[in-house]
Structure 1
Amino acid sequence: MERNTLGSASGEQLRLDAETAGAFLRKLGERLDYNINIMDRDGVIIASRDPSRVGTYHAAARHLLESGSREERISPGDHLPEGTKPGVNLPLEVRGDVLGVVGVTGDPQVVGDLAQAVKTSIESMIELEAMREAVLSRRSRKTSLMAYLLYEEAVPESAVLALAGKLGYDPAVERAALLLRLPSGKGAEEALSKVKALRVHDSQDIASALPDGSLLVFRRLCSEKAGDSAGDLGILSGYRREIRTYIQACIKATGIRDLACFAGSPQRDFSRYRGSYRQALWLASRVSAPGGEPVLILDHLDEYLLAQTPRIVLDDALALISARVPAELRRTLAATLEALEASGFNIKEAAARLGIHRNTLSARLERLSSFLGCDLRGDAGALSLSRTVAHYLELRGGIVQDAQRAR
């Protein structure tokens, strides 16, 4: 079988460089007295225990490379050309690629076994170095991909797709940005390593430790399939369950019980991953997350959209109405609505959530209904308006000037 002397069959370029070869010989020289030469594919000595020979041409090595022989022995009694010394020359072969030649000077009968041992050691060194560089290359590519997804808006889509393809990421897979906030003193890199070690991630998850100590995971989702096949589960419930299951697995893998998770919306377009990430960031800045229970943007979408709407648009729509909300309601409107909706408008349960007497809550609800002229429990429009006004008041710090005086 003919050997490949040009490059790796796998497409990865294996190298035998002078610096690595020289370092190997310096280390080996501490234990051996024989001269050893390492030659490149052209037969040029790139490393030697005899420094004067580095950079010179080694005819026997070149002959070995051209002939494709497995070994070349030069005995002391041979008629040797000038500059040629007795010894054993062997090809350096890694993954079917001949990268060069190693030669050990001396009587072939004496140094033959040593030459084989040196050959094996050098080939192992090259293999390990190639593996190390492959890991570093993947990390570099992954860092670039994350930068493209999060920050580089002007990068061509073709460049992002090409880079994702090299890393094995399918662009058609549905993913959501999960921002994981760790307690103080917990390392993001260590936590990520534990999660990967226990196979919590799959090959389509894109994860990275962020400079602020958080973890960002573009988590592969199967909620769409769940909605198609699980009937009673549905898209939203399937999404919630997937994220919750993932976080529980992360907690088990890392041992971090108070791990906080903020989840952006699902995406299937790399250009929209940035938006999902920003949604998760917004959630982290606005909503507290109980350990083990993820906070989803889909459960806070009205607040998020309101926060993204230009201030002048909000003021035009809500300033006058919000300015007329009674002062005693402004301070409590958001919390009151949240408790009522969470309890299904059960006054007793909602009052318990707020830590107030049920009569106090009933009076508050009656005051709001009087202000609107309708009952929130039977008017979806009134409930939607109340919720929007509450969020608007929060955005404005609870202070809204009367629009008639402001204009």
Structure 2
Amino acid sequence: MLTSSIANEIAVDTTAIIGFNVLITDRDGIVIGSGDPERVGSFHEASVDVVRTQRAMSHDLAAARMLSGVEPGITLPLVLNGTAVGTVGITGSPDQVERFGRLVRNQTELLLRESVLLSSRLFREKAIEDLLRDIAHYDRETAEPALVLMRAAELGYDLRLSRVAVVVDVEASVEPTRMVRALRRVFDDPQDIIGNTGAGRFIVLSRKREALELDLGVECAVGIGGAASTVATLHDSYQDASTALYLAARLPGSDRVVHIDDLRVQELVASSAPHTRARFVRGMLGSLVDQNDWPVLRQTIIAWCECGFSLVRAAAELRIHRNTLVYRLTKIEELTGHGSRDARFVVKLYLACMADLLS
């Protein structure tokens, strides 16, 4: 609780402020911090009784000479949560330094409490990040779900509650603490689990299932997985959210927030081997890909399928006149030898276009 690094920092800074040497000991009277570095590691005998009685003691020159490692001054107990964790001493004539005693002790105890709280918070954040990594890298064949459930329960989370995984990617330069605070404003359920896994990636296991509008104050991309209520399905949800981000980055015109349920076709296409996709693209698209306006034709085929072969809806989706759409469809029919309402063929053409986009 009272570490040498914290004690030494406090002792050096306080010494510089008040002009008298300040030393801090642990419960056993060993000096662990001092404005005089030569005293660090020495034994301060007066501190033993101060810790035991939790009462301040002052020592003039005569009294100091009778104790090991003690110089004239005052020694006060450092008490946290009712327990003496060490002492703080001020070297000098007791009449001169006694007026600083209570002030220095109170300030030292305040700094120690803040340090303990910070350490506790950082420990919890690290434990949450470790939990999220366990879920992200969960292996059904080798991992034991009960252990993950237990670690989550120790942090106050019940992984049996339904959640969705949300993956947020930002620039690596964005300060993690700032992002976590911003995410907590959006994901405010006590059972929402939020953490940073490094390299600009943040994971949220959210109780929210509705569409999310994220205003985080930074440029970001957000992927959302499916609903889950077990360790294994939470892992799947995380994988789905990550896949949604991967696919969205390769599909033009994708939204900033993407849900895997809107990209299942693309996910299926992307899951096939690259050489298999390449053969499928060559076999289905043929001379279409050699056209100067192939990107426009590809966009037209995708919109035509996704709008249910409706001229009105597809033209509106593409933001073109209906006659322009008819011209494009006629060109596609001539190049492929199939009608634009031949559903079986056009659906295969649609999948080939998706494979081409993901190549």
**TM-based fold match above 0.5:** yes
Structure 2 gap ranges (5+): none
Aligned counterparts of 1:62 and 1:398: Cα–Cα separation in 2: 71
Closer, same or farther in 2 for the Cα pair 1:301/1:394, shift >3 Å? closer
The CA deviation at 1:301 is 1.1
The CA deviation at 1:192 is 2.1
* Contact 2:304/2:314 (8 A) holds in 1: yes
Superposition map of 1:5-84 within 5 A = 14-15=1-2, 17-49=3-35, 53-66=39-52, 68-74=53-59, 81-83=66-68
The CA deviation at 1:117 is 1.4
CA RMSD in angstroms comes to: 4.5
Closer, same or farther in 2 for the Cα pair 1:349/1:190, shift >3 Å? same
The CA deviation at 1:130 is 2.1
Aligned counterparts of 1:397 and 1:110: Cα–Cα separation in 2: 80
Aligned counterparts of 1:328 and 1:195: Cα–Cα separation in 2: 47
The CA deviation at 1:71 is 2.7
Closer, same or farther in 2 for the Cα pair 1:164/1:110, shift >3 Å? same
Give deviations 1:158-183, integer Å, cap 9, x for gaps.
Answer: 5544554455443234343444466x
The CA deviation at 1:99 is 0.8
- Structure 1 position 98 matched with structure 2 position 84: yes
SS at match of 1:29: helix
* Contact 2:164/2:207 (8 A) holds in 1: yes
Aligned match of 1:192: 179
Q: Which moved more, 1:17-26 or 1:149-158?
A: 149-158
AA aligned to 2:159 is P
Q: Pick from 301, 306, 318: which aligns with 2:264? A: 301
* Contact 2:305/2:350 (8 A) holds in 1: no
Closer, same or farther in 2 for the Cα pair 1:138/1:335, shift >3 Å? same
Aligned counterparts of 1:25 and 1:308: Cα–Cα separation in 2: 60
* Contact 2:138/2:235 (8 A) holds in 1: no
- Structure 1 position 265 matched with structure 2 position 251: no
Structure 1 gap ranges (5+): 1-13, 224-238, 377-381, 400-407
Aligned counterparts of 1:324 and 1:80: Cα–Cα separation in 2: 97
Closer, same or farther in 2 for the Cα pair 1:254/1:160, shift >3 Å? same
Aligned counterparts of 1:346 and 1:60: Cα–Cα separation in 2: 90
AA aligned to 2:105 is K
- Aligned pair count? 344
Normalization by structure 1: what TM-score? Answer: 0.65
* Contact 1:176/1:276 (8 A) holds in 2: no
Aligned match of 1:279: 243
**What is the identity percentage for the equivalent residue pairs of Structure 1 and Structure 2?**
21
Superposition map of 1:7-406 within 5 A = 14-15=1-2, 17-49=3-35, 53-66=39-52, 68-74=53-59, 81-83=66-68, 87-105=73-91, 108-151=94-137, 153=139, 156-158=144-146, 160-180=148-168, 187=174, 189=176, 192=179, 195-196=182-183, 199-202=185-188, 203=190, 204-208=192-196, 211=199, 213=200, 215-223=201-209, 239=210, 242-243=211-212, 246-247=213-214, 250=215, 253-254=216-217, 260-268=221-229, 269=231, 270-289=234-253, 294-309=257-272, 323=283, 335-336=299-300, 338-351=302-315, 353-354=317-318, 355=320, 357=323, 359-360=326-327, 363=330, 371=338, 382=343, 386-392=346-352, 394-395=354-355
